[in-house]
Amino acid sequence: MSNIYIKGIDRKYKSYFPPTLDEYVGENNIVRVIDLYVENLNVSELDFTNSQLNVKQGRPAFHPSLLLKIYIYTYINKIRSSRMIEQEIRRNVELMWLTKGLIPGYKTIANFRKDNSQPLQKIFKEFVLLIKSIDLISGDVMIDGAFLRANASKNETITKKGIEANIKRVENEIKKSLVSLDSEDEIDEKRIKQNRKIEELNKQEKIKQKNIDKLEQEEKIKQELLKKLNDKKKALEEDLALLGDKNQYNKTDPDSSIMVKPAHNLVAYNTQISVDTKSKFIIATDVSTKGNDKQELYKMAKMSKDNLKLNTIKVGADTGYYSAKEIKKCKDDNIEPFTSIPKTQNSNNKKTKFTKDDFTYNKEEDTYTCPNNQKLTKANSPQKKNDKINYIYKTTIAMCKSCPLKEKCITGKTQYKQIYRWEHEEVIEKFKEDMKSDEAKKVIKQRGSIVEHPFGTIKRTLGWDHYLVRGREKVLGENALIMFNYNFKRLFNLIGIVLFMQLILATKNGNLEERIERIS
């Protein structure tokens, strides 16, 4: 019976392992690419911590290249905790090969990620240019954002509205306690007189003392409660001062914010990426502390343009990125944006009221014409709001009073109609017309299939749905590491280990052009 099963070797046999560790790592293993790529980086120029260390006394530090190799490998393999990384180095043969048997402690590993935000961002940008050099990038990008959880508890978030409500509640409790203490003082006097009378009549000194002690104890408890309430009020007032001009503040990670999702709210960062349309590589990335994308279009477009070192670029985004100011910035910087146009309708009155789109602008006369063919003329003084200058166009009270379409145009309390026109409104009007073109419709339609793919891979397949570091500057570093690893693994899957290693060597030796045609 025992002869029909495959038997293992004796654990105490001296030649249990092959002669070299290298034999355990296959020729097509991604660790070989990681090792070659990092070895060919100029770590000193990237300004990693300890990259120019020259130790004459004491124990030498671990080289930044070693720690970078560890992070690239572990993030690709869904291992992010510094303690788990240390544990993995001790038992994972591939990591043993990559580290040459060195085992940094978890604290050293964690500090490298925490202290090298800028170098990690530089590596991401350099790798984007490497991908561009082999013609895997078209230069047209799609932008999107997603909420990635911060390393902070929602319970540690304070809001101005909540603090003000709590202060009001505590003040009411303090008032009640003060009233109770005042009334108790009156009751105490009556009880003490009564006790004295009992003492004189019944000579019961013990009963009197017992009652007095009880009253004193009750008063002491109430005084302690009053002190706690005052201390609580003081703490709330300190939290209110901590908020300053902000509406919310997280004590664990002050840069994070509560962001609203359809199912729940979470403390997170709004992670932004721009994805190239050709091979779905991430071209640019950033981290926002705001829960919406209104101010992100130009910033991400400009970052994509700079990272690719292009003079012009086309950018697609969803309705959440639509902003007149952002579109104007893009146009001024030779960037062609494509976004869906949000519907302009009164949310309270739904489609029962006319919107600005129902009014026709006459450029020669500088007036608007309403659906009843009446003129809205320009007011003398413009409105200045949110760093924008808006010109005001309005009718007269008499004109609107006798208008048969009044009910569909203005509310009952409003006596006349007025419309606001931005000083650069012609840019937006042309943009809206351009978005009706077949090209614009095509770009907007394909946006989701391009830019949402990387986020799906990052959050679901690779498990990178949260950050481990705190503070926006450190989060920017970890975010760059995440997006770099996504690009690294995608390039490995697209061109394979042989071409990838040839690309690295060609870049190092300066003969990249000879390899481009074969690789692409």
pLDDT attached to residue 348? 47
Note the residue count of the chain: 520
DSSP assignment string, 86-123? HHHHHH-HHHHHHHTT----HHHHHHHHHH-HHHHHHH
Q: Longest C-alpha distance within the chain, in Å? A: 117
DSSP state of 254: T
Q: Within the chain, how many helices (H) and strands (E) appear?
A: 17, 14
* CATH number attached to the domain at 140-149+256-343+431-472: 3.30.420.10
Instruction: Tell me how far apart the alpha carbons of residues 35 and 139 are, in angstroms, rounded to a whole number.
Output: 29
Neighbours of 132 (CB within 10 A): 19
The amino acid that residue 205 corresponds to is: E
pLDDT attached to residue 210? 61
DSSP state of 461: I
pLDDT attached to residue 209? 57
Residue (of 248, 282, 285) closest to 270 by Cα position = 285
pLDDT attached to residue 189? 56
Name the phi and psi angles at 274, rounded to 5. -120, 135
Q: Do 360 and 375 form a contact (C-beta atoms < 8 A)? A: no
Residue (of 490, 488, 485) closest to 504 by Cα position = 488
pLDDT attached to residue 223? 72
Instruction: Tell me how far apart the alpha carbons of residues 147 and 450 are, in angstroms, rounded to a whole number.
Output: 18
- Chain-centre distance for alpha carbon 233: 32
pLDDT attached to residue 491? 95
pLDDT tens per residue across all 520 residues of the chain? 456 788 776 666 666 556 788 888 889 999 999 999 999 998 888 888 876 655 555 567 889 999 999 999 999 999 999 999 999 999 999 999 999 999 999 999 999 999 999 999 999 999 999 999 888 999 899 999 999 999 988 887 777 777 777 777 766 776 766 666 555 555 555 555 555 555 555 555 555 556 666 666 766 776 777 777 777 777 767 666 766 777 788 878 888 888 887 767 889 999 999 999 999 999 999 999 998 999 999 999 999 999 999 999 999 999 999 999 999 999 999 999 999 988 765 544 455 788 888 899 998 999 999 999 999 999 989 999 888 899 999 999 999 988 999 888 988 788 899 999 999 999 999 999 999 999 999 999 999 889 988 999 999 888 889 999 999 999 999 999 999 999 999 999 999 999 999 999 888 776 655 554 554 4
Helical packing angle, 324-332 and 297-308, nearest 10°: 20
Neighbours of 8 (CB within 10 A): 7
Instruction: Tell me how far apart the alpha carbons of residues 352 and 296 are, in angstroms, rounded to a whole number.
Output: 33
Strand partners, 270: 147, 288
Residue (of 283, 271, 272) closest to 140 by Cα position = 283
Name the phi and psi angles at 268, rounded to 5. -155, 180
Q: Do 369 and 359 form a contact (C-beta atoms < 8 A)? A: yes
Inter-CA distances, 308 with 139, 218, 404, 488, Å: 7, 74, 57, 17
